[in-house]
Amino acid sequence: MRPRLWHPFTQLRGFHPLGQVVAAEGAHLELADGRRVIDGISSWWVNLHGHARPEIAAAIADQARRLDQVILADFEHPAAVALTEALRPLLPAPLAHVFFSDDGSTAVEVALKMAWQHQRSRDPKRQRLVALQGGYHGDTLGAMSVGDRDVFTAAFAGMLIDVELLPFDGPAAAAALRARGDDVVAVILEPMVQCAGGMRMMPGVDLAALAAATREVGALLIADEVAVGMGRTGQLWAGAHAGLAPDLMCVSKGITGGSLPLGLTLASEAIYASFFGEDKRSAFLHGHSYTGNPLACAAALASLGLVAQEQTPARFAAYEGVYRRWFARLAAHPRLADPRALGGIFAVDVQGGGGYLDPVGRALQAEALRRGLYLRPLGSVVYLMPPACLSLDALDGVMQILWETLCAVLGTP
């Protein structure tokens, strides 16, 4: 049998790829058949500034000529040191230390393990991880365990850690956490927006209430900024909308501008200090072969330079105004509900939809692609998360395409 490319998150029976992408530039993907389509989801939320940015490509090429990879367990290298130093003034207090891994899921695994070892060494009665219903933190086992119990996790139920899931409601979750008492190791959440869970948005004041309760019970707060960080919500870190001061923070996706995989787990001084001891058993015994890869670090440094130079969070904040101008029209459609936006993220629900597996998503994707826009709806949740290189006029044009797509599939109101 001829080997077949195994596509992620895909039932391969009857599946045919949408096309073969041979090049990309700015907000556009170029397909082998000559079509150029707008990348409405930043290629799974990673492409921050636009595809093929010459600044990032040049940084990678320059680094590749000098050092492509070295083990970080025994050595340092300039790109990792420079990235650490560039990040530190940008981090919310009390974060100060950077641990490298490979992607968002592994950044979450690192945070969970750090939290567990730190807390259990100080207070062995703490034995419970807490997360929010509807959350999604990745596909490795620990990351799946702190996600919602849904289609993503069902096949692996017997392998997952027992985690308490609180309601996706700040005050209700805070009350449940206080009632839980003092046995909680950590609370992990996606600040402001649960992305894979349906682009559900929590008001900053509610998020702040949950964070306060986390402090009261002595638990650590883990902010998963993998999808929402790097300016996507109009702030560099989404937690800033609620004044969060996390003990641990996970970063990936846009950190390299979408060019190379890189995961970061940021830790407070208190957590970092707790791993000092008399022998190696008290150290954090975790790592990856490509931890702190120089090429990825060089890409991230270039991407951070673009964030500062182009005021990426402010660009995404301006996108929200464009989205909101369409809210009234969208809300008036009988098949649509709850148009919502935060920074560069927009979403709307198809009324009566069947969640993630609803076939309406595929129908909308096909129609949008025919009109020159690439979408990947979360079933009955339609969303946009484009790169920051789009002008406001171009973004309004994307919304026009989206509206025409929705009317073509769902009917004209």
Identify the segments of the chain with pLDDT beneath 70: 1-2
* 54-310 CATH: 3.40.640.10
Predicted TM-score (pTM) of this structure: 0.97
pLDDT for residue 1: 61
pLDDT for residue 39: 98
pLDDT for residue 98: 98
* 311-410 CATH: 3.90.1150.10
pLDDT for residue 10: 92
pLDDT for residue 4: 85
Three-state DSSP string of the chain: CCCCCCCCCCCCCCCCCCCCEEEEEECEEEECCCCEEEECCHHHHCCCCCECCHHHHHHHHHHHHHCCCCCCCCCCCHHHHHHHHHHHHHCCCCEEEEEEECCHHHHHHHHHHHHHHHHHHHCCCCCEEEEECCCCCCCCHHHHHCCCCCCCCHHHHHHCCCEEEECCCHHHHHHHHHHHCCCEEEEEECCCEECCCCCEECCHHHHHHHHHHHHHCCCEEEEECCCCCCCCCCCCCHHHHHCCCCCEEEECHHHHCCCCCCEEEEEEHHHHHCCCCCCHHHCCCCCCCCCCCHHHHHHHHHHHHHHHHHCHHHHHHHHHHHHHCCHHHHHHCCCEEEEEEECCEEEEEECCCCHHHCCHHHHHHHHHHHCCEECCCECCEEEECCCCCCCHHHHHHHHHHHHHHHHHHHCCC
Domain boundaries, the chain: 54-310, 311-410
pLDDT for residue 225: 98
pLDDT for residue 231: 98
